[in-house]
């Protein structure tokens, strides 16, 4: 599965880059089989002005709740990875958002997805946009959701 690593807003003011390590996590959790459950985790990376460089993503833990059409991330396991990366990077690598998979070629956010993204964006202490990614079988949906709940869909860099 080949996913695009560079994404931007239409006005090109915000760039998001996914390191290969993050894309590998996505590839490992594509829902190809009808028996594959949704997967998800945290997106961790560096902030460079308005730009984001994603360097790591957590993957589902045994405690997460997973089914074909839903994923609920529980904090155990994910929080420890985020804290360790933050500490080891002296605060440079931090929580930027979350990802999960959909059993669709080109994923479309559900009403539940949008509601959850609005909630998570409103809870951000730094008031930066929340990065939301849905991994599909043939592509990604990448969106920045601001604390006022406006979503900005990102597009592959060309």
- Mean of the pLDDT values across residues 52-65? 94
**What is the pLDDT at residue 149?**
61
Checking 152-157 for CB contacts under 8 A at 24+ apart, the result is 152/9, 152/14, 154/7, 154/8, 154/9, 154/14, 154/16, 155/7, 155/8, 155/9, 155/10, 156/4, 156/6, 156/7, 157/4, 157/6, 157/7, 157/8, 157/15
**What is the pLDDT at residue 125?**
85
The answer to whether the CB of 40 falls within 8 A of the CB of 22 is no
- Mean of the pLDDT values across residues 70-77? 87
**What is the pLDDT at residue 147?**
77
Residue 52 confidence (pLDDT) above 90: yes
Q: Is residue 1 part of a domain?
A: no
Backbone angles phi, psi at 84, to 5 degrees: -65, -45
Which residue in the block uniquely carries the two structure tokens 């833990």?
61
- What's CA 120's distance to the chain center, in Å? 12
**What is the pLDDT at residue 27?**
97
**What is the pLDDT at residue 158?**
59
The answer to whether the CB of 63 falls within 8 A of the CB of 71 is no
**What is the pLDDT at residue 97?**
96
Q: Report the CATH number that the domain containing residue 86 is assigned in CATH.
A: 3.40.140.10
Give the chain's mean pLDDT. 92
> 125-148: per-residue pLDDT in tens?
888 899 999 999 999 999 999 877
The rounded percent of the chain whose pLDDT value lies above 70 is 97
Cα distance between residue 100 and residue 98, in whole Å? 7
> 37-51: per-residue pLDDT in tens?
999 999 999 999 989
**What is the pLDDT at residue 2?**
73
- Mean of the pLDDT values across residues 56-72? 91
- Enclosing domain of residue 66: 6-156
- Would you call 116 a catalytic residue per the annotation? no
- Mean of the pLDDT values across residues 19-24? 97
Cα distance between residue 140 and residue 97, in whole Å? 15
Q: Is residue 138 part of a domain?
A: yes
Q: Is residue 79 part of a domain?
A: yes
Which residues, listed in sequence order, are joined to residue 157 by a DSSP beta bridge?
Answer: none
Q: Write down the catalytic residue from 38, 98, 116, 143.
A: 38
Tell me how many domains the chain contains. 1
Give counts: helices (H), strands (E), the chain: 3, 11
Residue 1 confidence (pLDDT) above 80: no
């Amino acid at each position: 599965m080949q996913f695009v690593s560079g994404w931007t807003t239409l006005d090109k003011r915000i760039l998001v880059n996914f390191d290969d390590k993050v894309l590998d996590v996505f590839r490992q959790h594509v829902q190809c089989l009808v028996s594959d459950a949704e997967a998800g985790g945290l997106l961790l990376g560096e902030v460079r002005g308005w730009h984001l460089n994603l360097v790591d993503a957590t993957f589902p833990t045994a405690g997460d709740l997973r089914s074909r059409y839903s994923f609920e991330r529980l904090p155990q396991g994910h929080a420890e990875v985020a804290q360790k990366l933050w500490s080891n990077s002296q605060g440079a690598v931090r929580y930027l958002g979350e990802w999960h998979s959909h059993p669709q070629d080109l994923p479309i956010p559900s009403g539940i997805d949008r509601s959850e993204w609005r909630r998570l964006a409103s809870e951000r202490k730094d008031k930066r946009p929340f990065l939301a990614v849905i991994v599909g079988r043939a592509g990604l949906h990448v969106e920045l959701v601001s604390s006022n709940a406006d979503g900005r869909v990102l597009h592959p860099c060309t």
